[in-house]
Structure 1
């Protein structure tokens, strides 16, 4: 147990600034998991009537407006709390808490999704080994790295992301070979993966809602704001992450859709990556492709695990969550060790659920965060800074964020019923917790002075 004096010293320990621009972009891409396009291909292709790349382009268009809003807000509030911090500071602490609570849903569940995907991969290769063993080993390794060092985590993540990009390039080369043999559309020069007679707006928007969780990563890089060597690189890191990630998703999705116009080839549409590898390159490439996907999932696990740990850290540092636990920074490793271990424990739940169910619920929290980041731009620049007197300001601080919020709202309307129900239940729990902590709004939800002083010392 720490004495009171020791706790005061521990509270003065800040996160270590060790991340450059490309390290942050790498963490964002690792978080996004480029190979996830192959995992969810069957689900999205079936739901969109065979236009997976169109769903990704639609989601990317929405994400670009939101990415611009993130870039604006991270310059104003260079803290690790992302949507939670922006909403709390520009609107209302209570609304900020609820947005942060909703965002926790996707941030907490994404590490579990990675553990779940690892389970699926390993069971496909070693069907006789109990699936829970793979989840336990994976979670232990990722948790250990995140407790140890953010720098070490970043380095390993960069290596894994580079490896998976090489594998995607190999997949594209093999796709050309299969086209020459008449597989799928028989050519890359076809519009069928993007548009055909059975394409309808509703299913495409539903597909875009599903794949938007693949973009969770460009927003998560704002969690590293207090660990960036140069704070000014954050907006550039956000845009690079979403543009590079979106391009990878589109190209990979286009080739996959041209090879597999429908899902009739697949035995398991819940995760089609192993079968795609088998059909495109044979049994040997299936194993190599799985290894790349494994690397991608581990990279995403490292990045997503570290991101949610830092969101919990900011909420704990503010006193929204118990400060001595969630606001704790390990004195030697300078990482939020308690939060890292907690996220690891939650990730162990991946022993049971299905990928489609968890990924649909994740989108609720993501869309809440995206909507309020766009609205935060209006709240801060228009209502607080009075930046509405020129055409340039009106375009930058009213029109663009409103388009971002509105397009996100369109995705909202196409959320899966399970995602909406699960998200509303989670939001209800958060609201009850807020009532309890504030004694029905008699107390403040956040100690703003503490966070401002702490974030300043961290710079």
Structure 2
């Protein structure tokens, strides 16, 4: 029915766990060969640069999630603070990386399984993995969270074991021969341009901290969201930096690897032997599966918000199953898209992901300025200037700097995707004769929501109040930023 809402079942650490699961901490070893080659052997420096950029952007996300405590992330923030049409284009761009991330995870898992069982057709693994991820996400968000927590703990324990084995190997003269070295952070020939290029690659690893905002309407206490965002960035970034530092100290040159595209199995073998290699690969599998679960669920919620706002067909994309309390149609759709992992190449898919992510990051920073400076007029004190102008400007500039350093394939593919979105918006608005905002509410649905929620009986609100809060789900899409984001969903929950 129109008033069915998402279930509030996630605590602070459950949300952080979902973010870390999305980020996949072991990816630092999967991409180590590529990034080391790009940066001339300073992988941890690239992660440090990316971490600084993500912290600025994370602060902006924390500000905006307080104002709009609803799912939708950059799409909602841009839509409410700047313009609905611009919000749609930002959401459409972000949709590219959100849709492709589940497919990338399934693709990686397919590669793992076909390498172990080459006689089994690849489609068998893809179909099985997609079926399991789709079923878990469809059943309940709490089930997804619990399984994700187990997998994340497992991979963190394995990374800790890698650090122990790595320290022992360094003490025996492997690589740089000592952990007390600055070589992983600076080597002769290190250039700013190459470090920035490496940072654009590793920022892919951080995609996940922003995805936790998709769970705002399922958080037990939405006030924990800013803390969850920063904790996800700092814990994930710390793991990436320490893991990258140790790996770079152990392997100053990538010439020792036979496969630089994904040296994780070789790293495990060289550092800890055959048994550790098997366990390490198992941990990578667990990490990737955790990311598959988290990315699958978050993109389903972005589609849900866009459907609830009417910019995607509402009856399908804005549907929440009345018993399961999950966006069932979207979850199944993401599973269907992920089936393309049977034939797609990892290089092709992964090259497009950062385009949408960096667009979203940039506009979240700009949304802070638009809302607090231009709407709320918060620029009269030094604290406000720093908080609402200086920090988001730096964040936008840094994400923009990474964006312009993307590979050409990613830029071309992203522009094509954006052009498709623009054409769709022109069609949707009948050549801009109809506002994007006009799709927010339908009178019939509002009346149904009022009747089923008992607005007149329990709250004394009229149709205008229901329209302001949304069609029973709380979109954060009304005309009063800061109030609407949670009104419908919170009312339904209470």
- Is the deviation greater in 278-287 or in 242-251? 278-287
Asked if residue 457 in structure 1 is aligned to residue 448 in structure 2, the reply is no
Secondary structure in 2 matching 1:235:
helix
Query: 255, 268, 287: which one pairs with 2:259?
Result: 268
- Is the deviation greater in 123-132 or in 199-208? 123-132
Q: 1:279, CA displacement in angstroms?
A: 1.5
Contact 1:270/1:356, CA 8 A, preserved across alignment? no
1:41 is aligned to: 32
Q: What is the rounded CA distance, in whole Å, between the counterparts of 2:468 and 2:321 in structure 1?
A: 18
Deviations 1:193-214 (A, max 9, x none): 1101021111110010011011
Contact 2:308/2:440, CA 8 A, preserved across alignment? no
Asked if residue 219 in structure 1 is aligned to residue 210 in structure 2, the reply is yes
Query: 410, 416, 419: which one pairs with 1:419?
Result: 410
Normalised by the size of structure 1, how large is the TM-score?
0.96
Q: What is the rounded CA distance, in whole Å, between the counterparts of 1:247 and 1:276 in structure 2?
A: 20
Contact 1:112/1:347, CA 8 A, preserved across alignment? yes
Could you list the runs of 4 or more consecutive aligned residues of structure 1 that deviate by over 3 angstroms after TM superposition? 446-452
Q: 1:451, CA displacement in angstroms?
A: 7.7
**1:352-363 superposed matches below 5 A:** 352-363=343-354
2:310 is aligned to: 319
Secondary structure in 2 matching 1:11:
coil
Asked if residue 329 in structure 1 is aligned to residue 360 in structure 2, the reply is no
Q: 1:359, CA displacement in angstroms?
A: 2.1
What is the alpha-carbon root mean square deviation over aligned residues? 1.1
Secondary structure in 1 matching 2:256:
coil
Q: What is the rounded CA distance, in whole Å, between the counterparts of 2:68 and 2:401 in structure 1?
A: 28
1:255 is aligned to: 246
Secondary structure in 2 matching 1:183:
coil
Q: 1:452, CA displacement in angstroms?
A: 3.4
Q: What is the rounded CA distance, in whole Å, between the counterparts of 2:189 and 2:137 in structure 1?
A: 46
1:410 is aligned to: 401
Q: What is the rounded CA distance, in whole Å, between the counterparts of 1:356 and 1:70 in structure 2?
A: 29
Q: 1:24, CA displacement in angstroms?
A: 0.4
Label 1:16 to 1:451 Cα distance change in 2 as closer, same or farther (>3 A). Answer: farther
Contact 1:111/1:301, CA 8 A, preserved across alignment? yes
Q: What is the rounded CA distance, in whole Å, between the counterparts of 2:427 and 2:258 in structure 1?
A: 48
Q: What is the rounded CA distance, in whole Å, between the counterparts of 1:63 and 1:197 in structure 2?
A: 27
Query: 100, 119, 122: which one pairs with 2:91?
Result: 100
Q: What is the rounded CA distance, in whole Å, between the counterparts of 1:36 and 1:132 in structure 2?
A: 24
Asked if residue 309 in structure 1 is aligned to residue 300 in structure 2, the reply is yes
Contact 1:317/1:451, CA 8 A, preserved across alignment? no
2:165 is aligned to: 174
Label 1:304 to 1:439 Cα distance change in 2 as closer, same or farther (>3 A). Answer: same
1:209 is aligned to: 200
Normalised by the size of structure 2, how large is the TM-score?
0.89
- Is the deviation greater in 102-111 or in 444-453? 444-453
Label 1:133 to 1:265 Cα distance change in 2 as closer, same or farther (>3 A). Answer: farther
Q: What is the rounded CA distance, in whole Å, between the counterparts of 1:451 and 1:262 in structure 2?
A: 59
1:193 is aligned to: 184
Secondary structure in 1 matching 2:436:
coil
1:381 is aligned to: 372
Structure 2 unpaired stretches of 5+: 442-466, 475-486
2:463 is aligned to: none
* Equivalenced residues, count: 450
Q: What is the rounded CA distance, in whole Å, between the counterparts of 2:266 and 2:131 in structure 1?
A: 28
Contact 1:270/1:355, CA 8 A, preserved across alignment? no
Q: Larger Cα Rg: Structure 1 or Structure 2?
A: 2
Structure 1 unpaired stretches of 5+: 1-9
- Is the deviation greater in 373-382 or in 174-183? 174-183
Q: 1:448, CA displacement in angstroms?
A: 4.2
